[in-house]
Structure 1
Amino acid sequence: MNLDFLQQKLNDRIEKGNIRSLKTDGGLLDFVSNDYLSLARNAQLSQRIHNRCLEEPVPNGGTGSRLLSGNHRWYEEAEELLQSVFRAESVLLFNSGYAANQALVSSVADKGDTILYDQLSHVCLKEGAWLSRAETVAFRHNDLDDLEQRMQRVTGRCFVLTETIFSMDGDVAPLHELVQLCEKHGAYLIVDEAHSTGCYGEQGAGMLMEEGVAESIFARVYTFGKGMGVHGACVAGSRTLIDYLVNFGRPFIYTTSLPPHSVIAITESFRYLAEYQQLQGQLLKKIELFRTHWPKAMSHTAIQPVMIGSNEQARVISSQLQESGYDVRPILSPTVKSGTERLRISLHVHNSDEEIKTLAEMLKQLMS
């Protein structure tokens, strides 16, 4: 079998310096993971999850889609809890944030509708839009004027896609203004809370809840593999929306359900955070500490981009930091736009103050 056509594309990546490969952490200090609240490594939470799975007759796998054999009682328990946390009329669990966004966006918009998405939205939101039969148009990142101009030219129903915290720049969407604009034009606003779930809001309910705009959002997507330290995701919205997704969301209908162990982990993670919400304050202190010692900081969130501007230089500085014991990875084009290559530093509760200060000092030396 001739695989030259695949190898050629790989060779092109190698020549451009942006070939991807899998790596383990190698025991380095973690400044790369999305485990912002350190719940993925929390031994007490792990023991709670383990104890429940020992005490209850938990199957090893989901056994089928939720519409067949996979709708175990632990799903109902988790969705009831999440409905309360997010103060939503209804909630539907998904296997991942990627699946949730893809199912939601691809199914709610139809031929004759228009989807307007922030150009820096995660690829799963964009792919959901492309899989729908609607017209899809990007608007400039967080640019309300550009968005409104495009809203004035849409046909059919208008859906607007954005995120609370963007994964590469760590910046925040203008949530109140977006809500007002969508209400003005009768648009349906869909917001992905992937990087704010757990880190903001009472019981980890996210930034939309903290900002008091959640009830104005057509659909909210929350993921649990980042701040919550476990796995899975959910869509929160009206009962009508959730019933619709059960019937028309293909990634939900045709996927084997999460195993009960994962669903129990979601429940126990939110229960744990409700008891230890001070973790959010601890994370905010780590962020401010980094900003104090790295004057070029661009973000007020746990995601701190350090702009480099070339694939080669980003790789070099990343390697130097790793040689010093700090796991900081480069983000290269085409993942980000050429010329905006960077280091993406993630801050966590488990990073010590001394580690954060030392990292900032090393950055000053390496980029001087």
Structure 2
Amino acid sequence: MTLDFLQEKLQDRIEKGNIRTLGGKAGLVDFVSNDYLGLSQNQELAKRIRERMDSEGAVPNGGTGSRLLSGNHRFYGAAEQYLQEVFRAESVLIFNSGYAANQALVSAVAEKGDTILYDQLSHVCLKEGAWLSRAETVSFLHNDLNDLEAKIKRAKGRVFVLTETVFSMDGDMAPLADLVEVCEQSNAYLIVDEAHSTGVMGPGGAGYMIQKNLHDRIFGRVYTFGKGMGVHGACVAGSKILTDYLINFGRPFIYTTSLPPHSVLAIEESFRYLSEHLVLQDELEAKINLFRSRWEKSLSHTAIQPVMIGSNKKAREVSMSLQEAGLDVRPILSPTVQRGTERLRISLHVHNTDAEIIRLTDLLSELV
């Protein structure tokens, strides 16, 4: 058996300077993770999760099977009921990850003869969900309502529109109020991924759509817990009909071993903790404002701050210089982003000190 066909593609990546490898230096200042509120390393939260686990007695170490078989342990019901209140939804269904939730939702609801229109900068899990459906899939220009409206007019069957609240590579936000209006006027079904706004925005960390009172006008909402909430998993929030449908037709839900009890308990405890410590959202906002005040080229008002470089080689070089200075800043290279838009992706957190942010912006001024 020859593996030349694999090696050839890897070699092509090496020659283009965009080969992906695992690694990373220990002891660097975190400007790369999605742990915006520092909850993944919050020891008070960790203690609460341990105490809750101890209070529950003997529980399985693993999920043991699909939720349709042996994996629907009692902790799911309590967590989903609590999340219904957090997200002000008729029903909530927990998934193993945001990737799985988006892929399941999009691939299941659209059928042959329908049309899926997705923002061209949507995360790949939304795009893959569209590609896995039998619907026609078409991208629309990023945050461009005119282009979206034109494509809705040409669409066939039921129309599903996919977008994100905060875009993961650019840190900008979708014009959600206007998107809701467009979808309502055209009877399109709007699906919104709140991956990077969960926890950091909204009452109790419930995200941007609830903050702006748009949640009841959205067909399907996806919330991810492995970023701002510092734990793991995700959920789809919407109508009871929608979650019942996903239980029956969402393949990444049906054919996946469930999360273990510890993970499900951690989701609930993380939201309970944040509801008592919403000052963390204000602290993060202060860090964002500090960065923006010192980096005049800032393109974002969120914790995701892209610094545009324009080539893989230069992005790698600047990233390495920052890492050598003790700051963990990673490059985002093509083909992950479009060629010519290679960048540094800086994530800001409550655990970044003001001095660390000032040092970062000073070094960026020297290197970029």
**Superposition TM-score tier, normalisation by shorter sequence:** over 0.9
Equivalent residue number for residue 134 of structure 2: 133
Distance of 2:296 and 2:161 partners within structure 1: 34
Q: CA deviation at 1:25?
A: 4.2
Equivalent residue number for residue 75 of structure 1: 76
Distance of 1:68 and 1:345 partners within structure 2: 42
Equivalent residue number for residue 256 of structure 2: 255
Q: CA deviation at 1:212?
A: 1.1
2:41 aligned counterpart, secondary structure? coil
Equivalent residue number for residue 336 of structure 1: 337
Q: Does 1:155 align with 2:153?
A: no
Equivalent residue number for residue 38 of structure 1: 38
Distance of 1:223 and 1:78 partners within structure 2: 14
Ranges in structure 1 where 5+ consecutive residues have no aligned partner: none
TM-score, normalising length: structure 2: 0.99
Q: CA deviation at 1:55?
A: 2.2
User: In terms of mean alpha carbon deviation, does 21-30 or 266-275 score higher?
Assistant: 21-30
Which structure 2 residues correspond to residues 278-317 of structure 1 after superposition, within 5 A? 278-317=279-318
Equivalent residue number for residue 64 of structure 1: 65
Distance of 1:181 and 1:129 partners within structure 2: 20
Which structure 2 residues correspond to residues 1-368 of structure 1 after superposition, within 5 A? 1-56=1-56, 57-367=58-368
1:37 aligned counterpart, secondary structure? coil
The AA in structure 2 aligned to 1:69 is S
2:93 aligned counterpart, secondary structure? strand
Distance of 1:121 and 1:49 partners within structure 2: 33
Q: CA deviation at 1:211?
A: 1.1
The AA in structure 2 aligned to 1:51 is E
TM-score, normalising length: structure 1: 0.99
Distance of 1:28 and 1:125 partners within structure 2: 32
Distance of 1:85 and 1:24 partners within structure 2: 36
Distance of 1:291 and 1:140 partners within structure 2: 27
2:314 aligned counterpart, secondary structure? helix
1:184-238 superposed Cα distances (whole Å, 9 cap, x missing partner): 0000000000000000000000001011111100000000000000000000000
Q: CA RMSD in A?
A: 0.6
Distance of 1:171 and 1:204 partners within structure 2: 19
Distance of 1:292 and 1:25 partners within structure 2: 29
Q: CA deviation at 1:339?
A: 0.2
Distance of 1:332 and 1:296 partners within structure 2: 20
Q: CA deviation at 1:27?
A: 1.1
1:152 aligned counterpart, secondary structure? helix
Distance of 2:268 and 2:25 partners within structure 1: 28
Distance of 1:51 and 1:183 partners within structure 2: 46
Q: CA deviation at 1:23?
A: 1.2
1:323-356 superposed Cα distances (whole Å, 9 cap, x missing partner): 0000000000000000000000000000000100
Distance of 2:150 and 2:157 partners within structure 1: 16
Distance of 1:24 and 1:155 partners within structure 2: 47
**Identical pairs, percent:** 71
Q: CA deviation at 1:296?
A: 0.6
Distance of 2:222 and 2:295 partners within structure 1: 32
Distance of 2:214 and 2:102 partners within structure 1: 20
Distance of 1:109 and 1:274 partners within structure 2: 35
Find runs of 4+ consecutive structure 1 residues off by over 6 angstroms. none
Q: CA deviation at 1:52?
A: 1.5
- Number of aligned residues: 367
1:56-111 superposed Cα distances (whole Å, 9 cap, x missing partner): 12210000100111111110011011000000000000000000000000000001
Q: CA deviation at 1:281?
A: 0.4
The AA in structure 2 aligned to 1:78 is A
Distance of 1:248 and 1:27 partners within structure 2: 45
Distance of 2:156 and 2:83 partners within structure 1: 35
The AA in structure 1 aligned to 2:28 is L
Query: Relative to structure 1, is the Cα distance of residues 25 and 214 closer, same or farther in structure 2, using a 3 angstrom cutoff?
Result: farther
Q: CA deviation at 1:24?
A: 3.3
Distance of 1:250 and 1:3 partners within structure 2: 31
2:151 aligned counterpart, secondary structure? helix
1:40 aligned counterpart, secondary structure? helix
Ranges in structure 2 where 5+ consecutive residues have no aligned partner: none
The AA in structure 1 aligned to 2:273 is Y
The AA in structure 2 aligned to 1:35 is D
The AA in structure 2 aligned to 1:26 is A
